[in-house]
Amino acid sequence: MGKIINDFTINIATANGTGSQSANLILLNALFRMGTHASGKNLFPSNIAGLPTWYIIRVSDYGYQAPGGKTNIQIAMNPDTWVEDIENLEPNTVLIYNTDTRLPVDREDLILYPVPMGTMGRKINPKLAKLVANMIYVGIVAEMLEIPQDILEEAIAKQFGGKEKAIQINSQASISGREFFTNELNKADNYYVEKREFDKNQFLIDGNEAVALGCIYGGINMLSWYPITPSSSLAESIDAYVPKLRLDKDGKSTCAIIQAEDELAAVGMVLGAGWAGARGMTCTSGPGISLMSELIGLAYYTEIPSVIWDVTRVGPSTGLPTRTQQGDISMLYEASHGDTQHIVLIPGNVDECFEFGWKAFDYAEKYQTMVFGFTDLDLGMNLWVSKGFDYPDEPLNRGKVLKTKEDIEKIENYGRYRDVDGDGITYRTLPGSGLEPIVSRGTGRDEDGVYSEKSDIYRSNMERLRRKIEGSRTDLPQPVLREEKEKELGIIYYGSMENTIQEIDDILEATGMKVSQCRVRALPLSPEINDFIRRHKKIIVLEINRDGQMYGILRKEIETELVPKLHSVAFSDGLPPKAIEYAEAILAKLEAFEI
Amino acid sequence: MPRVNKINQPLDSYKGGKSTLCPGCGHDAISNVIIKAAWENSIAPEGIAKMSGIGCSSKTPAYFLQQSHGFNTAHGRMPSVTTGANVANKNLNFLAVSGDGDTASIGIGQFIHAIRRNLNMLYIVENNGVYGLTKGQYSATAEEGSRKRKGAPNELKQIDLCAMAINLGCSFVARSFSGSRKQLTALIRAGMSHRGMAIIDVISPCVTFNNNEESYKSLQYVKNNNEELHGLDYIPHFNPIQEIEVPSGGYKEVKLHDGSYLRLETISEEHDVGSKKMALDALREAEEKDKHVTGLLYFEEGIPTLDETENLVDTPLSELPEELLRPNKKSLDDLLTKFRA
């Protein structure tokens, strides 16, 4: 058998709370520094300590970032999942396992590397034995794959940023693992890592931190939040960056951060800040959106700039709180009672997380409405590759705010809700200005903002609101199109599916078909998507939820004659999408409909 | 020429639209006191933000201070919306009106947490013991045994918002009665001068659903059973020697944040407004006798407000220029360099 270079998936099974996370990140970072396309997915439980966790690292010279279809190298540390971790492995899989668990391994068809990691860890540091044991397997893997120690040392240093003691212990543990592999084991596998050209511009970052930085550079004035996985780290990241980037020369803050009593209050604070003329934002996950829906409608109807980031997890209800899904997209689009429609920004990578992070505030103030950012646990909490964030290329857009008497006099017959420009966006004045004050209210009101229950006034106001949001279709981030000249099959997808789409495309094209792609980046949908559908013979709408939520939105919004072209491929098991599974589902769908 | 206040504004500048509440509603009396108090305190109307939730009481911001921006939010959510507006523009004078349903039931969580954060606001509860807009269901502040116009007596214990506020550390807690114009005016004026959260729970009879003699919150019942802790006079900072009759008996003065004073004239036993214990005892004793105790129950100066604990810049956040909102390009370049290391 020849060497298998830079093309494998490692699965590391540990229990949470054992400190494996830093070891896994070091391994990932070392692979990244080798210039390989390495990505890591953390599958963790809704628990603090003791329950099973898996970390899946994909290394691929093709640039594939999704977990591979099968495990090539299994690291078994967790007694609780020992049996299933091992029995599911295909023959010839590498199994590196901790012999100190004293659990049996009865698979002779595997490549076995037994290592007494606990004992080795205790020798290095009895108090920290459990933590150190994790670095032993990092050393084993590094030696096995031929990752140079100096690269590993760089990754260790980065992980522990200047903490000399931690760097020393972890380095020692990794060397101990290497020595064990060299002295006690014989390499019987064919997996190797080869150095590739490392793009010095690249780094790894998770989507939550990228959104947080986007907000910081978008001039966020108030973050209100209620802790919920997987969005908490977004709020905590803003909290960490405000003291570094958003204090004035006297050390005073330009951004308030309030941990709210619940999501009802968190969104209320966003509305209050927006109403008073500042940039307010909250972040949450699906259950939070459910609670916030009441005031989401108030923001829409009273036309208050507001921003909410939804880092989606698996629903319905409490669901699988630490797993990923695109299950909230239809809820976000029409959240709250009555007729509503909200702008939803859908980044597909960390660079867009940053970009849409600052743009969300501009759209919210420009359209005087609720703007959602939509990511998910996979994009929000796993490390993705960035080539660097672009500094905002346009000034803040504060929207139609009248600041002086002269401003108002320029407008004939000013009224808070009178559409003088014909774009549905009306002019507002801010509290404290003394200019044309009204009582903002969720009840019916006329163009001057005065309470009204009149039918024609209600209806024309609602039509204007529709016109206003309609106007954003060509202004929001437009879809990213990658088209084949054959215009045979087009895949419409969005968000974190971006990580998997290239591999899906390659699998499909290997069967001889030509596949175009259209990545949706915002709701309401761009007219370009309608045109993309028109140009193609058949369309698959690919998403990570059960019901084909984007498919439903498309059916409602595209031209009726194009609807029969659409076919939905949608499912969700809580895990980041694997290319082979979605590709097979697409092929099955095409076959079933003979399309 | 109409009379003007210290900032040359006539009383009319503080008025609002025509009330649509039932004739004789206690809430309208409170609105009139708010108009008078704001005028007398010479507060610039454009600097006031009127906040409310949902209910009869929460409709009233349309009936006073028409030169002020207002926000009639959603049921029970006024405190959180005010919180956001407060950090957005800390220079606004927040004047909030809520009701017993809005505050003691659907919004009780937000009420509690607004107190915890010590928002710089005046929070008036127009408390009548019933839901008016939905036609007369008991609210959580209805006393056990009290009976509204229709239906059985209330069987559940009341939530006393003043006792709750005192226990939560609110720095200005008062109870009053919509029929006690002088007392209410002094308290609202003092509440406007206070820095931090001032809560005034005003018993405000619902003339339509809860004004029968078996109701503990009927006009007549409150009149007959109102135990005032003290006589109250407000002495504004801009006119400390305003003609106020010096009481013949003993009195104490409470100095408010803006330099104004609230003069407390002893009526019976002296009430120490700095003692939480005395305040809670007074509430408990009144409850045991089916009475209403009114006046300034508790006062404390100097608790940090939310905008202070947030360490915000001096300029309101809503008025900051772009250079203070968006860090410069170099800062992003430095960050990226660090990420790439």
Chain A neighbors of B88, CB-CB under 8 A = 221-222, 272-278, 280
Nearest to B71 among A256, A279, A440 (CB): A440
Q: Most B CBs within 10 Å: which of A269, A398, A440, as the mutation test of the B interface?
A: A269
Q: Are residues A355 and A472 in the same domain?
A: no
Chain B closest-CA separation from residue A224 CA (Å): 8
Is residue B315, in this structure, part of any structural domain at all? no
Which residues of chain A does B64 touch, with a Cβ-Cβ cutoff of 8 Å? none
Last residue of a domain, one of A477, A493, A528: A477
Residue A252: its chain B contacts at CB < 8 A?
Answer: 311-314
* Residue A200 located in a structural domain: no
> Do residues A183 and A53 share a domain?
yes
Whether residue A339 is predicted with pLDDT greater than 60 in this model: the reply is yes
Does A408 lie at the interface with B, CB-CB under 8 angstroms? no
Task: Tell me if B40 is assigned to some domain.
Answer: yes
CA dist A327 → A287, A338, A376 (Å): 11, 21, 9
Taking only residues 83 to 122 of chain B, the set having a beta carbon closer than 8 angstroms to any beta carbon of chain A reads 83-89, 91-92, 109-110, 112-113, 117
Residue B337 domain flag: no
Residues 117-146 of B with CB under 8 A from A: 117
Does residue B130 lie within any of the structural domains?
yes
List all residues 6 or more positions away from A475 whose beta carbon is below 8 Å from its beta carbon: A363
CA distance A437 to chain B (A): 5
What backbone torsions phi and psi does residue B199 show, to the nearest 5 degrees?
A: -110, 125
CA A428 to centroid of chain Cα atoms: 34
Q: Name residues whose C-beta falls within 8 Å of residue B68's C-beta, 6 or more positions apart in sequence.
A: A431, A437, B45, B46, B47, B48, B49, B50, B95
Does residue A508 share a domain with residue A541? yes
DSSP A565-577: GEEEEE---SSPP
Mutate which of A160, A302, A403, A439 to disrupt the B interface (most B C-beta within 10 Å)?
A: A439
Answering whether pTM is above 0.90, one says yes
Count other Cβ atoms within 10 Å, centred on residue A131. Answer: 19
Q: What pLDDT shows up at residue B240?
A: 61
**pLDDT(B247) > 70:** no
Judge if A145 and A248 occupy the same domain: no
Selected residue of B116, B118, B309, B326 to mutate for chain A interface (largest A Cβ count, 10 A)? B326
Confidence of residue B244 (pLDDT cuts 50, 70, 90): low
Question: Do residue A432 and residue B312 have CB atoms under 8 angstroms apart?
Answer: no
Mean pLDDT estimate for chain A: 96
Interface confidence, given as ipTM, is: 0.97
Residues 246-265 of B with CB under 8 A from A: none
Q: What is the mean pLDDT of residues A506-521?
A: 97
**Per residue in B127-152, pLDDT tens?**
999 999 999 999 999 999 999 999 99
Averaged pLDDT, A505-521:
97
Query: Helix, strand, coil % (nearest 5) of chain B?
Result: 35, 20, 45
Residue B336 lies in a domain: no
Task: Point out the residue among B84, B317, B318 whose CB comes nearest to the CB of A271.
Answer: B84
CA distance B162 to B280: 9
- Domain for residue B6, yes or no? no
Task: Tell me the C-alpha distance between B140 and B130, whole Å.
Answer: 8
Query: Nearest residue of B to residue A275 by CA position?
Result: B85
Contacts of A158 in chain B (CB under 8 A): 341
Range of the domain at B258: 11-309
Alpha carbon of A468: minimum distance to chain B alpha carbons (Å): 22
In this prediction, residues A362-382 reach a mean pLDDT of: 98
Closest chain B residue to A439 measured between Cα atoms? B70
Count of CB atoms within 10 A of residue A389's CB? 24
Question: Is A196 strand, coil or helix?
Answer: coil
Which residue of A lies nearest to B48 if distances are taken between CA atoms?
Answer: A432
Taking only the tens place, the pLDDT of each residue in A283-328 is 999 999 999 999 999 999 999 999 999 999 999 999 999 999 999 9
Q: Do B85 and A273 touch (CB under 8 A)?
A: yes
> Å from B30 to nearest chain A CA?
18
DSSP assigned state of B198: E
Residue A312 belongs to a domain: yes
The predicted model gives B287-316 an average pLDDT of: 97
What is the C-alpha separation between A258 and B84, in angstroms, rounded? 9
Instruction: Look at residues B322, B330, B327 and name the one whose alpha carbon lies nearest to residue A242.
Output: B327
Give the pLDDT of residue A382. Answer: 96
Min distance B262 CA to chain A CA atoms (Å): 27
What is the average pLDDT across B12-40? Answer: 97
| Segment 30-69 of chain B within 8 Å of chain A by CB | 44-47, 49-50, 61-62, 66-69
- Please report, in angstroms and rounded to a whole number, the separation of the first and last CA atoms in chain B: 74
Q: A440, B70: Cβ pair inside 8 Å?
A: yes
* Pair (A166, A272) in one structural domain: no
| Partner-chain residue, chosen from B87, B319, B340, that has the shortest CB–CB distance to A273 | B87
What is the rounded distance in angstroms from the CA atom of residue A537 to the CA atom of residue A530? Answer: 13
- Burial (CB count <10 Å: 0-12, 13-18, 19+), residue A574: middle
Rounded CA gap, A186 and A183, in Å?
Answer: 8
3-class SS letters over A491-515: EEEEHHHHHHHHHHHHHHHCCCCCE
In what side-by-side order are the strands of the sheet with B230-235?
Answer: B230-235, B261-266, B251-255
Q: Contacts of residue B320 in chain A, CB cutoff 8 Å?
A: 219, 221, 254
User: Residues A201, B341: contact at Cβ < 8 Å?
Assistant: no
Kindly list the residues from chain A whose CB atom is less than 8 angstroms away from the CB atom of residue B326.
217-219, 358, 392, 396
User: pLDDT per residue over A457-466, tens digit each?
Assistant: 999 999 999 9
Distance of alpha carbon B171 from alpha carbon B304, whole angstroms: 10
Among A45-59, A93-107, A237-251, A277-291, whose mean pLDDT is lowest?
A: A45-59
CA gyration radius for chain B? 21
CATH number, position B136: 3.40.50.970
Q: How far is B23 from chain A (nearest CA, A)?
A: 20
A431 and A518 in a single domain? The answer is no
* Chain B residues with beta carbon closer than 8 angstroms to that of A295: 73-74, 77
- Considering the domain architecture, whether residues A218 and A324 belong to the same structural domain is answered as yes
A276 touches chain B (CB under 8 A): yes
Chain B residues near residue A433 by CB distance under 8 angstroms = 46, 69
CATH classification at residue A522? 3.40.50.920
Reported confidence tier of residue B246, pLDDT bands at 50, 70, 90: low
B86, containing H or E segment = helix B78-88
* Average confidence score pLDDT of chain B: 95
The position carrying tokens 């229990």 is A15
* CATH code for the domain in which residue A286 is found: 3.40.50.970
Option in B109, B316, B332 nearest A217 (CB): B332
Instruction: Please indicate if any CB of chain B lies within 8 Å of the CB of A203.
Output: yes
- Residues ≥6 apart with Cβ < 8 Å to A169: A124, A125, A128, A132, A135
Tell me, what's the pLDDT at A47?
87
Tokens of A201: 């511009």
Does residue B1 sit within a domain?
no
The closest of B80, B114, B79, B116 to B96, measured between CA atoms, is B79
A32/B contact by beta carbon, under 8 A: no
HSE-up of residue A553 (Cα within 13 Å, Cβ side): 25
* Amino acid B326: pLDDT: 98
* CB within 8 Å of chain B, chain A residues 141-180: 158
Please indicate whether, in this complex, the C-beta atoms of A442 and B83 are within 8 angstroms of each other: no
| Domain boundary, last residue among A386, A419, A434 | A386
Q: Using an 8 Å Cβ cutoff, are B225 and B219 in contact?
A: no
In one-letter notation, the amino acid at residue A562 is L
Half-sphere exposure of B101 (CA within 13 A, CB side): 19
B322 assigned to some structural domain: no
pLDDT band at A554 (very low <50, low <70, confident <90, very high): very high
pLDDT score for B250: 80
Chain A residues in contact with B93 (beta carbon < 8 A) = none
Q: Based on DSSP, count helices (H) and strands (E) in chain B, helices before strands.
A: 12, 13
Question: What gap in Å lies between CA A577 and CA A588, rounded to an integer?
Answer: 17
Non-local CB neighbours of A150 within 8 Å, separated by 6+ positions: none
A vs B, Cβ pairs < 8 A, gives 220
Domain presence at residue A559: yes
Mean of pLDDT values over A278-283: 98
Q: How many domains does chain A have?
A: 4
Which residues contact residue B140 at a Cβ distance below 8 angstroms, ignoring those fewer than 6 apart? Answer: B100, B101, B104, B105, B108, B156, B158, B159
Dihedral (Cα; B76, B302, A430, A289), 10-degree rounding = -40
CB contact under 8 A, B89 and A434: no
Half-sphere exposure of A350 (CA within 13 A, CB side): 25
Residue A16 banded pLDDT, cuts 50, 70, 90: confident
CA-based R_g, chain A, Å: 26
For chain A positions 413-442, those within 8 Å of chain B (CB to CB) are 429-435, 437-442
Instruction: Measure in Å the smallest separation between the Cα of A294 and chain B Cα atoms.
Output: 8
A67–B contact, CB cutoff 8 A:
no
- Does B316 sit within 8 Å of A258, measured CB to CB? no
A365 CB neighbours in chain B (<8 A) are none
pLDDT of residue B243: 57
Domain interval for residue A118: 4-192
* Three-state secondary structure call for residue A111: strand
Question: A440: which strand partners?
Answer: B71
Query: Is it the case that residue A595 has pLDDT exceeding 70?
Result: no
- What's the confidence (pLDDT) of residue B202? 98
Report the range of poorest mean pLDDT among A44-53, A414-423, B73-82. A44-53
Enter the DSSP assignment of A47. S
Contact B84 A276 (CB under 8 A): yes
Residue contact A224–B62, C-beta within 8 A? no
How far, CA to CA in Å, does B261 sit from each of A126, A277, B166, B254? 67, 34, 21, 5
Q: Using a CB-CB distance cutoff of 8 angstroms, which residues of chain B are in contact with residue A201?
A: 340
- What lies within 8 Å, CB to CB, of A96 at 6+ separation is A73, A74, A75, A76, A113, A115, A137, A140, A141, A144
The number of distinct structural domains making up chain B is 1
- Which two three-digit tokens encode residue A26? 């070091």
User: Could you say which DSSP state residue A230 is in?
Assistant: T
Mark which of A359, A386, A413 sits at the end of a domain: A386
Cβ distance of B112 and A261 shorter than 8 Å: yes
Looking at the structure, tell me whether residues A484 and A508 fall in a common domain: yes
Phi, psi of B83 (to 5 degrees): -60, -50
